[in-house]
Structure 1
Amino acid sequence: MDESHPQELPGPETASIPCGTYRIQFHKGCTFEQVTQAVPYLRALGISHLYSSPYLRARPGSTHGYDIVDHSQLNPEVGDEEAHARLCRTLRRNGMGQILDIVPNHMGVLEADNAWWLDVLEHGRASAHAETFDIEWKPAQPEMTGRLLLPVLGDHYGKVLEAGEIQLHFDGESGEFGLRYWDHRFPIDPASYPSILSALPAPPARDDSEGDSHAVVSALLDAFARLPDRDEPDVDTRRARVRDSGVYKRQLARLAARHEWLSRWIAACVQRLNGRRASPAASTTSTP
């Protein structure tokens, strides 16, 4: 800094200094429209600023808004962009400001509604959001390197697995394999998709046309297997992994929708790996 021209701080004539705040907890029972209607009354009380809880898209039914699952959208349970704009205009007309209680780590993880979190589970350190979360990628225990340890299961792993509460699932629209445990979803590394489809041999081709589709699927599985590792240090290679896996999954979804033999094969492999409930041998040996 040039000491001969010191940086000036905002003076009283430019700084918006709160002299009285009123806490607003936004949720589906306290919306933009409702707060907008209350602004003149709050101003009459001497309130200069609303002190607002987060109103970005939160987990459905959230009563506090801190379990954000999408930082790029407003919470639809609180209101849309027009309702938000009306609130802001009303505040300005009444000479009032707004203080937003937003912290980067205000985020809802687990379950199945945070795209950033699911991307990290799928791609590990290769995810563009790997540094968004406070994850110890190099823990003291070497065997935990690149892994996440989460308190999710309601009982011992073996008991939960034997009870059939952890289920492999294939999403035909996205072409993705994942594990489901009650409301939680855990994406599977796309590089391991060939291992899933090795649970059972592919059904034999009935004609030349079906034989061609077999060859296309085989080439696609080879491409999945060649995806870069989740812990690949090169940044460009990491980006290529995420980009290519998305392309491959969409192609798998299209092929499964087009070819009945493939959709049947996928379903049979999923069923085989899920095993049978209360059958320890089937469950423990069939889990990917």
Structure 2
Amino acid sequence: MGEETPDQVENLRLAGNQYFQKKMYNNAVDCYSRALQMRLDPLVLGNRAQAYLNLKKYEKAYTDADAAIKLDPNFVKGIYRRALALHELGLNARAKLDLERILELEAQNKQAKELLEKIKHLPDPATIEVTTFTKCESLQSKIQLKNIHISSTSPEITEVKDGISELSEFDKIAQPGFLPSKEPISLPPPPKLAYDFMRAYVELKDFPENFAEYFLTIDHSLYNTLFGETMDADLIPLLICGFLKRKERSEKILNSLINLSMAQRFEINLLFLDNSTKQELCKLLNEFGSEFQTLVNSIMQLYDLNSC
């Protein structure tokens, strides 16, 4: 992150809000992005998510809203915007979970009620059948969550009141005692568009081994096109966990981790890696033979591992 003056992030956020009110959404995104380069802030992430929603860039909106919720689980506007993005991506079952959690604590929340009524009878996409898995330690202990007071800005941007504390479905599924049903899986085909990847990622993110298998089908040259700007903070821990569960220890896995480090949002996502995730990555790297040592050393440097 760059250096910041005391008011610089707030000034950029307010400038972004002014552009937003004028419906100059690309300019708003630019201001919010510059602010986020200085400091990760849930309110700014939430505002940029809303701008992306208005620009119909739903994959980016989902990523920003999800990141905002991880920083502040009480950020209701972030949860609502994540539900909107999920709905637009065709993932209505996931969107319903967010909306129902809002209504559990804010029974009169008009926007959540209206959106839930709109989508509750909509068909879900074809179900992806999955196999039982044992969760990785790194998926049980996510980044430390903080309670951050979120103040209102403009009416268009702050449509939903604060006041909900929730875990994402990813975090819920990582809790002790949860095991998905054991059924055969048919993985989606390799993605051609960012939309394809985001749909598959949201559906498979509860199942690390299956996601890792899917990820290995993706051409390295497409990483930035598919998720360079929408890379979710859970992607790296999920991938490491999935690779650990696979018996394969091939050069393909190492090359995928190296090429992942070249994705646009990698450095930001690296900030979310806790010690548990880094330990899991070290464990994975130690399982490769000496013939892969050059690649292993490169990954250790790229992922900021002092030693394994």
Instruction: Give the TM interval when normalised to the shorter protein.
Output: under 0.3
Structure-1-length-normalised TM-score: 0.26
Q: Could you say which structure has the larger radius of gyration?
A: 1
The structure whose residues are more often strand, as a share, is: 1
Query: Which structure features the higher share of helix residues?
Result: 2
